[in-house]
A and B are shown apart, each in its own frame.
Chain A
Amino acid sequence: MFAVSAAAVLVCMVLAMLRAVLGPTAYDRVLALNNIGTKTVVLIAVLGFVNGRPDFLDLALAYALINFIGTIAVLKYIEYGDLGASAPRETGTE
């Protein structure tokens, strides 16, 4: 039964990768990559159960951390053009 779940996650990763390739703006691509990372975490966890070695869950936890930090870093680079920049005060629409 875990193989079925792993296959579903793989199909969904293909769909999200399609959006990452097609996506007209950079934000679409970042969103799709973040989503692929989430699905990778689930895939690692499920594959651990498929192989009967749930020790892979530590890898899933580490991958979730890396995915989150990576998404935030890429977004900061897109928004400010500099990873070391401090965020300016917003004077805008929000």
Chain B
Amino acid sequence: MMGDIVTVVVWLLLLSGGFFMVTGSLGMVRLPDVFTRMHAAGMVDTMGAGLTLAGLCVYSLHDGTGLVAVRLVLVLGFLWFTSPIATHAVAKAALSGGTTPYTVGDARLRAGQAGAGPDGAGEGRTGAAPDSTRKAPAEDERGRGDR
């Protein structure tokens, strides 16, 4: 009886952790620039790893190996401390490296490119952003449009 409840709880935790992890990874592939991808990556680090390791923790607590649960909590705490620091470092480096965040204006520009777009929106954008890191996301979007 108790074992059945624990099995159901572990299944639920592992499945929801897998759901968050797949969602975050899809977001990392689909979203348009570094900062939005960072948001998706944070979901993998927090909810995906958190729920999966919580499921393992419940299983090992029921299994009677308490030391394993302690080590799982250690791994989880370390992940939850370090992943915001790493994400913050990526954001700081990207900003000081000249990447500008994707905004509503970029989305409108992209929608204009996908439509008829005889106004030369693409040239206007790359012309307005002369440095190389600004140009890189635009190339990526063009590649995605071709796919």
Instruction: Using CB atoms and an 8 Å cutoff, list the residues of chain A in contact with chain B.
Output: 1-2, 4-5, 8-9, 11-12, 15-16, 18-19, 22, 24-28, 30-32, 34-35, 38-39, 41-42, 45-46, 49, 54, 57-58, 60-61, 64-65, 67-68, 71-72, 75, 78-79, 90, 92-94
Contact = CB atoms under 8 A, between A and B. Distances in A.
A28 B34 contact: yes
Interface string B88-100: 0110111111010
Contacts of A92: 96
B114 to A, nearest CB: 19
A68 B136 contact: no
B93 A31 contact: no
Contact of B28 (A26, A32, A49, A79): A32
B75 A60 contact: yes
B130 to A, nearest CB: 16
A3 to B, nearest CB: 10
B89 A75 contact: yes
Interface stretch (B14-22, B102-110, B120-128): B14-22
Contacts of B22: 8, 11-12, 15
Contact of B37 (A4, A28, A68, A71): A28
A90 B52 CA distance: 39
Contact of A42 (B24, B52, B99): B52
Interface of B: 7, 10-11, 14-15, 17-18, 21-22, 24-26, 28-29, 34, 37-38, 41, 44-45, 48-49, 52-53, 55-56, 59-60, 65, 68, 71-72, 74-75, 78-79, 82-83, 85-87, 89-90, 92-97, 99, 133, 136-137, 139-140
Nearest to B83: A38
Given A31-B34, A68-B86, A24 B139 contact: yes
Given A39-B44, A54-B65, A25 B34 contact: yes
B95 to A, nearest CB: 7
Contact of A27 (B11, B21, B72, B97): B97
